[in-house]
Amino acid sequence: MRTFKNILLVLSTGYILVYFSEHLFWARPRPDDSLGGWIGAWIAYSLMAFMLLSLVSWFRVKNIWGLFLAGAAFGWLGEGVVVQTAYEILPLSISFTGLAWHALITIWVGWYLLRKSFFASDPFSTLKLSAAIGLCYGVWAIAWWLDPDGGIATLQEFAGFSLVTTLLVMVAYWLANWSASEPFQPRRWVTVAISALFVLYFFFVTVPAAPWALAILPVLLGLVYLGLRPYLRNAMEGSLIDELKGQIPLWKILSLLALPGAGILFYGLALSLDLQWRTNWLLYLITTPLGFILFSLSLYKSLRNKPAP
């Protein structure tokens, strides 16, 4: 049963990550979207989810600063290995999107804050957070109207895309919570095999496409390891994976519908007013430096203020 629940935890976490990293990012159905493409993205993100969960579990991460470091590793695996966007506009591309979107939005907000809201005493905690995320999602979505690679999705297309992907992530959150009842303890050979896949992909795909990766990525991941080591030395057993579980009231799962709801309302309003806002630049200007700041702060807190034994 533990092995089954561990697999389910990885797969459900993988969809949560693909929802925040891909579906909310692209914010519309694209011409080249297909069921096969969605499944492929889910598998890729599930492999990265395995690495994220392994880091959080192995280093006994119990606070948001250690989680940001693990999230940075997740972001750089995605943007610095699977695709090579981390090397396109150096040094800014080191933060956006590995830190500024993946670590900050996907991990801190999507994987941690939303799940934590499920267990808060405030019955409207998830509703309020989901509505806030949904409003930001709608504001971000209209940036694609002015992008050369974007386009204006109709309100029906945007609403259908948002609702379908959110209904799936609601199931993923429930499954992640249920499967977290067993400790995440993957077999060593599985960890070695998945790690080897990333290493082989890095050397045979990433480096030929972006030779600078050979000098940059090991340094970035080395900083993550340096920051996570104090948690391994000093922390008690357990991690955030063990803490983010419990009985989730049904209305809190249903409250996630406020996310697409708020996004659809803003998107419809923007269409009616024919807004022409480059909202992506606002996000870039805020989150790109914030990603660097939070990563530096996470390293500082780990190395200077070591976790208590």
Task: Using the Cα atoms of residue 7, residue 11, residue 17 and residue 22 in order, give the sign of their dihedral.
Answer: positive
Q: Where are the alpha helices (DSSP H) in the chain?
A: 2-18, 24-26, 35-58, 64-77, 92-95, 114-117, 125-141, 155-179, 188-201, 207-209, 213-234, 240-243, 250-254, 258-273, 279-304
Q: Report pLDDT digits (tens) over 64-79.
A: 999 999 999 999 999 9
Q: Report pLDDT digits (tens) over 192-217.
A: 999 999 999 999 999 999 999 999 99
Both tokens of 106, joined, read 């996907």
- Measure the CA–CA gap between 216 and 27, rounded to whole angstroms: 30
Q: Is the pLDDT of residue 50 over 60?
A: yes
232 versus 288: the higher-pLDDT residue is: 288
How high is the pLDDT of residue 309?
46
* Residue 307 binned pLDDT confidence (cut-offs 50, 70, 90): low
Q: Which of 183, 53, 195 is nearest to 111 (CA)?
A: 53
Q: Report pLDDT digits (tens) over 216-229.
A: 999 999 999 999 99
How high is the pLDDT of residue 225?
97
Is 262 domain-assigned? Answer: yes
CA 6 to each of CA 58, 112, 192: distance values in angstroms, whole numbers, following the listed order? 14, 18, 16
CA 91 to each of CA 85, 97, 179, 202, 288: distance values in angstroms, whole numbers, following the listed order? 11, 12, 39, 20, 10
Is 38 domain-assigned? Answer: yes
Model pTM score: 0.96
Is 32 domain-assigned? Answer: yes
Q: What average pLDDT does the segment 97-101 reach?
A: 97
CA–centroid distance for 255 within its chain: 20
How high is the pLDDT of residue 234?
67
Look at the chain and report how many structural domains it folds into: 1
Is 199 domain-assigned? Answer: yes
* Residue 181 binned pLDDT confidence (cut-offs 50, 70, 90): confident
- Measure the CA–CA gap between 173 and 253, rounded to whole angstroms: 8
Q: Is the pLDDT of residue 306 over 70?
A: no
Q: What average pLDDT does the segment 48-61 reach?
A: 96
Q: Report pLDDT digits (tens) over 123-166.
A: 999 999 999 999 999 999 999 999 888 889 999 999 999 999 99
Q: Is the pLDDT of residue 247 over 60?
A: yes
CA 131 to each of CA 143, 269, 292: distance values in angstroms, whole numbers, following the listed order? 19, 16, 27
Residue 290, domain extent:
2-304
How high is the pLDDT of residue 235?
59
Is 63 domain-assigned? Answer: yes
Longest dimension (CA), the chain: 57
Is 205 domain-assigned? Answer: yes
- Measure the CA–CA gap between 40 and 128, rounded to whole angstroms: 32
The per-residue pLDDT of the chain, averaged, comes to 95
Task: Using the Cα atoms of residue 190, residue 104, residue 23 and residue 134 in order, give the sign of their dihedral.
Answer: positive
CA 165 to each of CA 24, 60, 192, 205, 264: distance values in angstroms, whole numbers, following the listed order? 9, 31, 32, 30, 13
Quick count: other Cβ atoms within 10 Å of Cβ 168?
16
- Measure the CA–CA gap between 83 and 183, rounded to whole angstroms: 31
Q: Is 170 exposed, middle or buried (0-12, 13-18, 19+ CB in 10 A)?
A: middle
Q: Report pLDDT digits (tens) over 19-34.
A: 999 999 999 999 889 9
Is 309 domain-assigned? Answer: no
